[in-house]
Amino acid sequence: GYIKLDQPLISNPNVGGFGQGDVEI
């Protein structure tokens, strides 16, 4: 999955706004 290192404190893709988060892990 895709991991956004730019937002380590945000594990929620909806909050990150990138559509990708810890959900893919």
Read off the pLDDT of residues 2-23 as tens digits, 9 standing for 90 and up.
Answer: 666 665 555 555 555 555 545 5
* CB distance 10 to 19 below 8 Å: no
Q: Which amino acid is at 6?
A: D
Which residue is listed with tokens 């893709």? 13
Give the domain ranges of the chain.
1-25
